[in-house]
Chains A and B, each alone.
Chain A
């Protein structure tokens, strides 16, 4: 049993996108539970991917293929997860802030968050404060993740937090921020709840913010 889980984990880490479906199917055929495959093989696999990315052992192409592999495996498992009513680890809204069209960093964070079992709503890029606030009110996420690549768009992050306060919903959602020009000092300065240096750290921050 653990050998099958190990193989799935290795396939995620190695981006074996052509092999993953057969491996997951074999695990299901061997009566392993879908949530066990996700929690004991796929999520730990993505954690390894995140660590390797943080350590510059792998780069964006390898991350992207790991995510493709993860998604192929998850697609097979989804019907079983829905049947068993497996719970999401938390609900997260992600977007790149107003004036910024860069999405790779945000997408990597989303891949890692989904790989870690979170339910993520991707609002896309260049998102203005008003539509963000409306969506937060509607979806009531546990965490709001804001991304920016441009230094010019950093002030937008502060505007989002100010708008959450003005709408009296700041206490209802945790805010995590990230992107090339962002650092911990900036995060503290604007009153965000967490800052992730990269996609792997974003997952850690989300876990901390949700579990407390």
Chain B
């Protein structure tokens, strides 16, 4: 019996029985100009309107052939619901937070109707639309920002990181703690709305903070977070995180979505028995500037290394050629 993309992804998410081929998956944005043209949906409406959001996500499954759909392209849906001013960008520009509400690390006021704010409502409605369209055939992935990334947006990234350097760890912990309910509420609401899996993006990246700081300041919160989340989760942290993979494996997420900078074989060797691995085709050099053959080779390398779900390493550049994305699908369809 031929397995659907949904079956392949969900089986992989629990390290279950392998199907006839590895699944392809996109825990982060695959919005690009050619996909916008093909679906007739562009930015910023794909961030602001539920049916546009869902339409663009469906393109990833129906036009490119990925086994997942993931409708959140920005990192700003929760931040906007918390009251920050967000520039939703345009066809050529991703959204960006324009104001940092808690630069002084004051107590954070989470609106009671946080999930009903327009930026959250649009995401939850888009997930429900996707469930009606591809439930059971493609795995529906939701995405929430973790408390660390939310802190960057609340305090300003540089300001937040400076406090760590200054040894103001109580301040840092307090902010992360206050933002935990936001992530938990967002993730669980996305499950209820129709997500099969939710990605928690929390940018404790290798280029920004040390593994020791992750272990000390964020790992305990990730462990608490995963205890309070109802369904299967993927942790997404960009950058070279080779030095902290073992910590990620203790956090309680089912899977880790990782970059090309982390060698697939090393990732499988280090944490492959504890977590599902998803990734890790390089964006700037391979998907953006390379050929379909380059993409195919990297995807096959990941498959042969034992990475369970194959996809881009992170949100793709908007000018990524569609044929390069299709090369990932070609690689997985060849089977193991």
Contact = CB atoms under 8 A, between A and B. Distances in A.
Interface string A180-212: 110100000000000000000000000000000
Interface of B: 92-94, 96, 157-158, 161-166, 206-210, 213, 243, 283-285, 288, 317-319
Given A60-B209, A151-B288, 16 more contacts: A15-B165, A58-B210, A59-B209, A59-B210, A60-B208, A61-B162, A63-B165, A65-B162, A68-B166, A103-B158, A104-B158, A104-B161, A152-B92, A152-B93, A152-B317, A183-B285
A107 interface: yes
A60 B161 contact: yes
Q: Which of A56, A58, A60, A61 has the largest count of B CB atoms less than 10 A from its CB?
A: A61
Contact of A64 (B158, B206, B318): B158
A198 B164 CA distance: 21
A101 interface: yes
A180 B93 CA distance: 17
Nearest to A62: B165
Q: Which of B94, B207, B208 has the largest count of A CB atoms less than 10 A from its CB?
A: B207
Contact of B319 (A103, A107, A152): A152
A140 interface: no
A17 interface: yes
Q: Which of A63, A101, A104, A151 has the largest count of B CB atoms less than 10 A from its CB?
A: A151
Contacts of A150: 94, 317
A99 interface: yes
The 4 A-B residue pairs with the shortest CB-CB distance in the complex, in nearest-first order? A61-B165, A65-B165, A151-B317, A181-B284
5 contacts: A56-B243, A59-B207, A104-B161, A151-B284, A181-B288
A160 B275 CA distance: 45
Interface string A1-28: 0000000000000010100000000000
Interface string A91-111: 000000001010110010000
A100 B214 CA distance: 27
Interface string A114-153: 0000000000000000000000000000000000001110
Nearest to B96: A101
Given A59-B209, A59-B213, A64 B161 contact: yes
B284 A64 contact: no
Contacts of A152: 92-94, 317-319
Contact of A61 (B96, B164, B284): B164
A150 B32 CA distance: 13
Contacts of B209: 59-61
B92 A61 contact: no
Contacts of A99: 92-93
Contacts of B283: 151, 181
A64 B288 contact: no
A61 B161 contact: yes
Contacts of A60: 161, 165, 207-209
Given A61-B209, A61-B213, A64-B161, A17 B317 contact: no
A165 B162 CA distance: 39
B133 to A, nearest CB: 29
Interface in A45-102: 56, 58-65, 68, 99, 101
A154 B92 CA distance: 12
A153 to B, nearest CB: 9
Interface in A171-187: 180-181, 183
Contacts of B166: 17, 65, 68
A107 B158 contact: yes
B258 to A, nearest CB: 15
